[in-house]
Chain A
Amino acid sequence: MFHMRFSAYGDEHGRYDPRLLRRLLGYLRPFAGRITLGLLLVVISTVMSLLGPYLIKVAIDNHIASGDLAGLDRVLLLTLGTYLVGGACFGAQLYLMGWIGQRVLARLRDQIFDHVQRLSLSFFDRQEAGDTMSRLVNDVDTLNQLFSMGLSSLPLDLFTLVGIVAAMLLLNVRLALLSFTVLPFMVASTVIFARRARKAYRLTRQKIGAVSADLQESISSVRVVQSFARERVNQERFDQLNRENRDANVGAAAVASSFFPTVDVLSSIGTAIIVGVGGALALRGEMTVGIIFAFLSYLTRFFMPIRDLSQLYNSLLSAMAGSERIFQLLDTPPAIEDRPGAIALPRLEGRIEFRNVSFAYLPGEPVLHDINLRIEPGETLAIVGPTGAGKTTIASLVGRLYDVTEGAVLVDGHDVRDVQMASLRSQMGVVLQENFVFSGTVMDNIRYGRLDASDEEVIAAARLVNADSFIERLPEGYQTEVMERGANFSLGQRQLIAFARAVLADPRILILDEATSSVDTRTEQLIQRALARLLKGRTSIVIAHRLSTIRSADRVIVIDGGRIVEEGTHDELMARRGLYHDLYMRQYRAEAEEAESRGLAAGLDGTWAPRLAEC
């Protein structure tokens, strides 16, 4: 939407750039040899199928008529032979063309996926997942229809048409030219048709994309829909999109179905001209009846190839509309890419530096302002601040998930824009605020952090974040299947899995963004203890609202409104009595007030002082 122009090819009048077709055909180029072979097979099987009727005619005229039974059997055997050879060629050609078509589709799908993988996050922020899915599935399928029906019949039909035209010209130039007077009209109607059809097909592609996008969103958020008993409203919305899709298709069908009949009427007018004018000429003796007869039988034979070709043209136009959307996606440049000559980072020491960094997700809406920050190797930096202040954003910039608008982010002195992203990110471990688990087993999910980790290492990582206790309670332990988006685990458990994944990565830079926000206090406490060990020797950025989580940090920065407003150690910041102090105290100011208002302070003292004394 935002990132894709209306159309990479062609203009809003519905005209396509010829490059689109050329590019589409480019996918066939690697198979030129096979296609030639396929065409050869088509020719053979066609010749065979034409030979059949001829041989039968011979059988009837020459053998049956003369009672030559032995000759008849010979001819019949020969005919059977042509059937078999023709059949074999037909089969081989079907398979070959099927193979080529599927190969091209698979190639396209791979290409789309690869490209989508390269696109940067800003693309995904705005593009609906379902629409992208529709491009890869439904739009690619329009090509399937083209390849599966079109490829093999095209040359034959063209050949037939050319043959007929040539024959007519040879027979009688005058008559031929006369019947060709309808040709300009045919061309004109084709042009008009094509323009309308393109628009119509484009619309169908967009609409199925919209249906797909709505489906995707509705299915993945069906729980919220049900919670709010919103089914009816949603149904109405889908009904609308679905209806638009239907109408677009019916509209396209109206255009498509009008093409062939138009051509048919025009070619019949050609026939009528021949009958009328040719007949008159014959009556005047200027032409033989035989020629007219031959002309007319040729003209009726126009019918089939023209029908086939117009169908083919339809699927071509539909495929163009589909491939337009595919190429649009393929041509969307990744906002973030390794630049040529980007270096692969060696093992990191882990120094991170923000130099005058400003950042905006959307132009004109800056989220970070002039951030200057230095994190030494091995240091643990905590970022705190009100929600929406820009903490997650800062963390995203380190791994170059987005590019800074101004300034630079440096890792070990290298601008992150100058290094290969993979070499940077593979040395980072991240627990995202929005944690995500994949379908697969628990083991697979943790192993995602480091693909070559052994089972023992996976289990050790799980143990470190205290995830093993719940995993081992599962009947199938680490082999338990994780349903889509971790539906069969509690949110806290999913966080622990994601945490274990980051730990397993054994990263040089560890980023924990609200990594334990949904984990209970006691488990968190256990993790905290393990964390001290884990963080040793690694640079880490810890973001948390529960300030207990950041106690082990060496330094704290406080972000507010996209700026660093305070920086220092916990003690320094407490002494400064600024925002950090307020936030920190808030955590139990509430409790204090509560205690006071209920007059409980004394009671509390009494109740739990002894418990502490037991320790």
Chain B
Amino acid sequence: MRSLLRLPGYLRHHWRSAVGAYVSLVVVTASNLVMPSLVRYAIDLGIGSGRVSLLLWIALGIVVVACVRAVFAFLQGYLSERASQGVAFDMRNALYDKIQRLSFSYHDRTQTGQLMTRATSDVETVRFFCGMGLLQLTNTVVMTLGTSAILFVTDWRLALLSLSITPPLLVIVVGFSRKVQPIFMGIQQELARLNTILQENLVGVRVVKAFAREPFERQRFGQQNLTLFGQNLRASRAFATVFPIINTLSGLGTLLILWYGGRQVASGQLSLGQLVAFNTYLLLLLMPLRMLGPLLGLATRASASAQRVFEILDTPLEIADAPHARPLPPIKGRVAFEQVSFAYFGGQKVLDGVSFVAEPGQVVALLGATGSGKTTIINLIPRFYDVTEGRVTIDGYDVRDVTLESLRRQIGIVLQESMLFGGTIRENIAFGVPGASLDDIIAVAKAAHAHDFIMSFPQGYDTPVGERGVTLSGGQRQRIAIARALLLDPRILILDDSTSSVDVETEYQIQQALRTLMKDRTSFVIAQRLSTVRHADLILVLDRGRVVARGTHQELIRESGIYAEIYDLQLRQGSQPAGEAGPSEARAPGPDQDRRGRQAPSQAPAPAC
């Protein structure tokens, strides 16, 4: 329940609505009390006096009171919704903000379905309580205290007696909320799992369909749905047990009074009138007590949800601006890794003592087997993750000492997976520079060799691309991603395997365009194809997180076994039997070298050295 104590902090921003709602509630309650007396008044006085005019005045009074009640009833509903929606709005915004700033590492371990459930369903539960729930709860408590006070004033002995049911009631209520809190936690948890399965199925639908795994997924979902059902049922069962108990207990109060009061009246210590009056007030007390059960249900539910929401809001940011962080001034682009070691959250060392320097304007290429740590290295430059040991500096600034935004703004990155967004092509290219002019966008699209295909669409740059860019081909998506990075006009350009889905011709042309663009930027290039890599000023060959060789293409051919082997393999792949070799390929060194390696097409290529 402790998490609920933080809600007033959120309500505070909407205190006008909240107070207004409460005042309205009080007015409504008061007019509810006035109305019957007004009617009684009408009968007693109006008819009794025999004056029609008085009767009409009273009738008018009834309408006026009803109108007042109506206005305040409206205000109560409206204002409480406004306050609670305000709380939900603030919470969602805070969650969104937090989610955006949480580190890559956090997102690696957290499922989208989890975050979504918290930002929608959990916030909604909290909201529901913050509005009507809290209002009613406050009202109930005030009513209970108020009537108790009246009871005490009327007859303190009877009051004590009738309130003797409160301790067991409290025990039950507290015990109950302790018991259902985990159940509600469970419900939200299971709902999040359900959401996760759903989300995964929506995003991975192509694989599900391609393997005809719909029955399997259906069963998986059905199973989870059943678990959720069971969990919900546990909550129903808890309520079904405790509400009647609360009701019966509160009724027991009246019986006790009558039992004891009856004897008092019999012995003449109490008048019948007093007893009846007391009992009437006691009935007033009964109402709020009965409300208590459902309201506590709401509160416990909200507290479970609030806890889940706050769990995210309270997650410390692993990657955040240091207190002393300064904005990174416009950089030249000297990137240095100094004895960098790195392990992903809870994992093994992925990088081990990596050191290198990229001078401004240089092209650094990273080469290595799948999983050797290439992407990991470049992830450390924009500080997506923090190094475990050593440091990464840009122009001499440790990346941990500068503000994230100033750092990332100067780095253009094409991630290995070209994730696009649901808008138009134009919006996607302008992702990093929302106000960019169409001319600039066209210029970078041309450099990324995307202009032509974009123009081939009827809607050109305004073509919508579907969520994640699903309506584009793989290569088209990659080129948009390149254009998107180029538009930043970054000092440091990072291309992570960014032409893997592009055909060789297009790739060649992109490279030509990039070569000019890279001239005065520091660039990092990851590619499997040596043709992309060989112009680099520095090539780092990685193996299981270590730099095992470095140098230029020429140096590496001579000195690095791995590099030479890769080179060998790729040239062999480009080789031709002598008979077919035309003039154009005759210029290439490959075919001459590799004729022996040529195999018949259907056979496996010869093993490499």
Q: Does B355 contact A (CB under 8 A)?
A: no
Q: Does B609 contact A (CB under 8 A)?
A: yes
Return B137 CB to nearest CB of chain A, in Å: 17
Which of B96, B111, B254, B476 has the most chain A CB within a 10 Å cutoff?
B96
Is there contact, CB below 8 Å, between B101 and A521?
no
Known: A90-B247, A216-B199. A110 touches B221 (CB 8 A): yes
Instruction: Give complex CA distance A563, B486 in Å.
Output: 32
Is there contact, CB below 8 Å, between A264 and B66?
yes
Q: Which residues of B contact A577 (CB under 8 A)?
A: 582
- B67 and chain A: residue at smallest CB distance: A265
Docked complex: B185-206 residues within 8 A CB-CB of A: 191, 194-196, 198-206
Instruction: Give complex CA distance A275, B593 in Å.
Output: 112
Is there contact, CB below 8 Å, between B501 and A387?
yes
Q: Which residues of A contact B369 (CB under 8 A)?
A: 492, 520, 522-523
Q: Which residues of A contact B85 (CB under 8 A)?
A: 246, 249-250, 253
Q: Which one of A114, A392, A426, A600 lies within 8 Å of B474 (CB-CB)?
A: A392
Q: Does B174 contact A (CB under 8 A)?
A: no
Is there contact, CB below 8 Å, between A261 and B70?
yes
Is there contact, CB below 8 Å, between A485 and B504?
no
Q: Which residues of A contact B46 (CB under 8 A)?
A: 275, 279
Is there contact, CB below 8 Å, between A300 and B36?
yes
| Residue count of chain A within 8 Å CB distance of chain B | 213
Is there contact, CB below 8 Å, between A264 and B70?
yes
Docked complex: A557-615 residues within 8 A CB-CB of B: 569-571, 574-575, 577, 581-592, 594-596, 600-601, 603-605, 607-609, 611-612, 614-615
The interface-forming segment of B334-342, B356-364, B415-423 is B415-423
Is there contact, CB below 8 Å, between B236 and A64?
no
- B511 and chain A: residue at smallest CB distance: A590
Q: Does A16 contact B (CB under 8 A)?
A: no
- B406 and chain A: residue at smallest CB distance: A229
Which of B66, B116, B210, B528 has the most chain A CB within a 10 Å cutoff?
B210
Docked complex: B69-121 residues within 8 A CB-CB of A: 69-71, 73-78, 81-82, 85-86, 88-89, 92-93, 96-97, 99-102, 104, 107-113, 115-117, 119-121
Is there contact, CB below 8 Å, between B371 and A492?
yes
Is there contact, CB below 8 Å, between A223 and B63?
no
Return A301 CB to nearest CB of chain B, in Å: 10
Docked complex: B362-387 residues within 8 A CB-CB of A: 367-372, 374-375, 382, 384
Is there contact, CB below 8 Å, between B47 and A490?
no
- B376 and chain A: residue at smallest CB distance: A490
Q: Does B468 contact A (CB under 8 A)?
A: yes
Is there contact, CB below 8 Å, between B78 and A257?
yes
Instruction: Give complex CA distance A95, B266 in Å.
Output: 43
Q: Which residues of B contact A280 (CB under 8 A)?
A: 52, 55
Is there contact, CB below 8 Å, between B557 and A56?
no
Q: Does B405 contact A (CB under 8 A)?
A: yes
Q: Does A163 contact B (CB under 8 A)?
A: no
Instruction: Give complex CA distance A246, B382 in Å.
Output: 36
Q: Which one of A227, A269, A551 lies within 8 Å of B63 (CB-CB)?
A: A269
Q: Does B175 contact A (CB under 8 A)?
A: no
Q: Which one of B191, B476, B569 lies within 8 Å of A388 (CB-CB)?
A: B476
Is there contact, CB below 8 Å, between B604 and A223?
no
Q: Does A36 contact B (CB under 8 A)?
A: no
Q: Which one of B88, B215, B504 lies within 8 Å of A547 (CB-CB)?
A: B504
Q: Does A347 contact B (CB under 8 A)?
A: no
Instruction: Give complex CA distance A364, B102 in Å.
Output: 44
Is there contact, CB below 8 Å, between A519 and B604?
no
Is there contact, CB below 8 Å, between B601 and A88?
no
Q: Does B245 contact A (CB under 8 A)?
A: yes
Return B395 CB to nearest CB of chain A, in Å: 18
Q: Which one of B56, B222, B368, B596 lies within 8 Å of A520 (CB-CB)?
A: B368
Q: Which one of B209, B225, B261 lies within 8 Å of A106 (CB-CB)?
A: B225
Q: Which one of B47, B81, B225, B255 lies within 8 Å of A289 (CB-CB)?
A: B47
Is there contact, CB below 8 Å, between B211 and A430?
yes
Return A44 CB to nearest CB of chain B, in Å: 12
Docked complex: B402-449 residues within 8 A CB-CB of A: 404-405, 408-409, 411, 413, 415-417, 419, 421-422, 431-432, 434
The interface-forming segment of A170-178, A349-357, A433-441 is A433-441
Is there contact, CB below 8 Å, between B81 and A525?
no
Is there contact, CB below 8 Å, between A52 and B251?
yes
Is there contact, CB below 8 Å, between A250 and B272?
no
Q: Which one of A126, A493, A596, A615 lies within 8 Å of B587 (CB-CB)?
A: A596
Is there contact, CB below 8 Å, between B503 and A95?
no
Is there contact, CB below 8 Å, between B55 and A388?
no
Known: A583-B505, A591-B530. A137 touches B568 (CB 8 A): no
Known: A141-B121, A517-B500. A217 touches B422 (CB 8 A): yes
Query: When A and B form their complex, which 6 residue pairs have the shortest distance between CB atoms, in order from nearest?
Result: A387-B475, A257-B77, A98-B236, A492-B370, A268-B66, A548-B573
Told that A261-B73, A386-B503, A591-B589 touch, could you supply 9 new A-B pairs with CB distance under 8 A?
Answer: A94-B240, A126-B466, A141-B124, A226-B384, A227-B413, A265-B67, A422-B212, A545-B503, A604-B589
What are 17 A-B pairs at a CB distance below 8 A? Answer: A56-B258, A63-B262, A98-B233, A99-B236, A129-B199, A224-B419, A233-B434, A238-B93, A245-B89, A264-B73, A272-B59, A279-B42, A489-B371, A522-B565, A522-B569, A545-B507, A581-B582
